[in-house]
Amino acid sequence: MPDSGAHQDQKRTLAGASCRKCWTKDGMIPVMTSDMAGARTYDDGPTRRREQRAWYWYEFAQSAFVTTVSVVLATPYLTAVAETAACGAAGTDANPCTQDLHVLGIPVAPGSAVFYVVTIATVLSFLAMPVVGALADRSPSKRRWLLTYAAIGAVATMCLFFVTGTNWLLGAFLLIIGNVALIASLTVYAAILVDIAEPDERDRVSTEGWAFGYVGGFLLLIVSLVLVQMHDTFGLSEGLAVRVGFLLAGVWWLVFSIVPYLGIKDRIVEAREAKVSFRTSFSQLRDTLSHVRKYPQTLRFLIAFLFFNDGVQTVIVVAAVYGTQELGMSITNVILAVLIVEITGIIGALFMGRTAAKRGAQQVILGALVVWVVIVFIGYFLPAHSPSMFWLMAGLIGLVVAGTQALSRSLFSQLIPRGREGEYFSLYQAAERGTSWLGTLLFGLTYQFTGSYRSALFALIVFFIIGGYLLRKVDIARGIREAGNELPAVL
């Protein structure tokens, strides 16, 4: 209900000396909350909704990099550039590239190079993100950090336009910068969710934001599809059309990132004596890891998320190369598949968000992980040169991918102690979009030793099984209370 009377212009305090009841999977339980200094406060409803709408636009902005670059264009394009460097030409079904690249004397299969690049980006993110999060927690202007990291990533994305011929190392370097900048921006972005949405709103806000991001990804992919499919009409080669796609994605990311910067306000933060900088990244990482151990349920969720989200992210990252290299799909068919993911992703995110309002986010995520196992089985047995079957699998992925990620984000936000949102989300983002280091490493190694992308894909099923098992062991209600937060109405 909307605020009324004198309460309309007041901020709501969600922690107070009271006994309230909350629905969990075990029924209604009483929860005691106590007065605490500096309890979290929220603006009135209309103000929160305005900031939430502005917040959605960053999903719209960064989807350009995630969807168009990471998922569709970068992996097959940079793989072809790496194969050209190793074999003199990109491999084909009839004449595959079997020569290795050599990096610092280490043999690297061209088909695995991009996945190792993503792994390196994740390791760097893991070391740097606690500092990124700590700086955001100490800053009254998270929106400025958000725009700064977005600008760095967008410029790196634009510069992918200059990757041609055999210059795969430049592409690898820029892809690392883009991924690290993306994770830095998403760390700050997720921390802002806690400022602009009350506990009962977060599942809705997170899933609606994710769905809006899929709208942005869908629109830019249509442009990319037209550009690649009709490249002759525009007087472009297919390779040049892909590079123009990189340029457009970077511009898209930068321009639409300005909307949340303008629409989200700065906030007063509590003073923290300890100073942080990138020179103290290791000590900050140690401090963050030490702090999270004080909250066992939060730590258990993080470990579970690390596993199942590595599976999700790796499926997303490898989908394009699996389609082109293993199933013989054209890049146009791959773009069409991702368009299907975007459309069904919007539907799936909104549906899972509404289901979570009735069943609880944890139960909805567990159900989605069962669907992920089914998807991996289907993918393993997909026949080559069958676009319709490839598109069917894409539709199934879309129904669960956005909701799985969005609900994981909102659920984790409930488990974070106040004032540590940036730091905790830095650990969360180490396993977030496009940075699945265990998954990409396993996929790359399996392919290198077996020469089969099917075997590499099937190996990912272990992440969903282990992640689902660990998630079932997390006591969400206890974790929220341990973090000093108020329980939402439904868990």
User: Which domains does the chain carry?
Assistant: 18-270+295-482 (1.20.1250.20)
Query: pLDDT band at residue 3, thresholds of 50, 70 and 90?
Result: very low
Instruction: Please check the confidence at residue 12 and state whether its pLDDT lies above 70.
Output: no
In degrees and rounded to multiples of 5, residue 219 shows phi and psi of -65, -45
Q: Classify the C-alpha dihedral 436-119-82-442 as positive or negative.
A: negative
Token pair listed for 333: 């068919």
pLDDT value of residue 115: 78
pLDDT value of residue 169: 92
Would you call 39 exposed, middle or buried from its count of C-beta atoms within 10 A (0-12, 13-18, 19+)? middle
Span of 24-28, 37-41, 456-460 with lowest mean pLDDT: 24-28
User: Do 273 and 431 meet the contact criterion of CB atoms below 8 Å apart?
Assistant: no
Q: What is the pTM of this model?
A: 0.83
User: Do 217 and 344 meet the contact criterion of CB atoms below 8 Å apart?
Assistant: no
pLDDT, tens digit (0-9, with 9 covering 90-100), for 209-229? 999 999 998 999 899 889 988
DSSP 201: G
Query: pLDDT band at residue 142, thresholds of 50, 70 and 90?
Result: very high
Query: pLDDT band at residue 39, thresholds of 50, 70 and 90?
Result: low
Give helix 387-413 / helix 421-429 axis angle, nearest 10°: 160
In degrees and rounded to multiples of 5, residue 12 shows phi and psi of -95, 135
Instruction: Please check the confidence at residue 76 and state whether its pLDDT lies above 70.
Output: yes
Between CA 401 and CA 381 the distance in angstroms is: 20
Query: pLDDT band at residue 319, thresholds of 50, 70 and 90?
Result: confident
Span of 3-7, 129-133, 275-279 with lowest mean pLDDT: 3-7
In degrees and rounded to multiples of 5, residue 2 shows phi and psi of -70, 155
User: Do 168 and 85 meet the contact criterion of CB atoms below 8 Å apart?
Assistant: yes
Pairing of strands 106-108, 101-103: antiparallel
328-to-88, 299, 333 alpha-carbon distances in Å: 21, 42, 10
Between CA 214 and CA 64 the distance in angstroms is: 9
User: Do 307 and 467 meet the contact criterion of CB atoms below 8 Å apart?
Assistant: yes
Tell me how many degrees the CA angle 416-308-128 measures, rounded to the nearest 5: 55
In degrees and rounded to multiples of 5, residue 140 shows phi and psi of -75, -5
pLDDT value of residue 15: 38
User: Do 116 and 106 meet the contact criterion of CB atoms below 8 Å apart?
Assistant: no
Residue whose C-alpha is closest to residue 418's, from 185, 184, 137: 137
User: Do 390 and 335 meet the contact criterion of CB atoms below 8 Å apart?
Assistant: no
For 260-320, give the DSSP string: HHHHS---------S---GGGHHHHHHHHHHHHTT-HHHHHHHHHHHHHHHHHHHHHHHHH
What percent of the chain clears pLDDT 90, i.e. is strictly above it? 55
Would you call 395 exposed, middle or buried from its count of C-beta atoms within 10 A (0-12, 13-18, 19+)? middle
Query: pLDDT band at residue 275, thresholds of 50, 70 and 90?
Result: low
Residue whose C-alpha is closest to residue 126's, from 417, 467, 435, 445: 435
Instruction: Please check the confidence at residue 476 and state whether its pLDDT lies above 80.
Output: yes
pLDDT value of residue 429: 81
Query: pLDDT band at residue 27, thresholds of 50, 70 and 90?
Result: very low
Q: How far is CA 44 from the centre of its chain?
A: 29
Would you call 445 exposed, middle or buried from its count of C-beta atoms within 10 A (0-12, 13-18, 19+)? middle
pLDDT, tens digit (0-9, with 9 covering 90-100), for 144-200? 999 999 999 999 999 999 999 999 999 999 999 999 999 999 999 999 999 999 999
Instruction: Please check the confidence at residue 268 and state whether its pLDDT lies above 60.
Output: yes
DSSP 73: I
Most confident range, picked from 100-114, 129-143, 346-360, 417-431: 346-360
In the chain, the N- to C-terminal Cα span, in Å, equals 21
Find tokens 């700086």 and name the residue.
135
Q: To the nearest whole number, what is the mean pLDDT of the chain?
A: 86
User: Do 311 and 465 meet the contact criterion of CB atoms below 8 Å apart?
Assistant: no
Between CA 329 and CA 352 the distance in angstroms is: 30
413-to-197, 284, 422, 479 alpha-carbon distances in Å: 10, 20, 10, 11
Between CA 38 and CA 46 the distance in angstroms is: 23
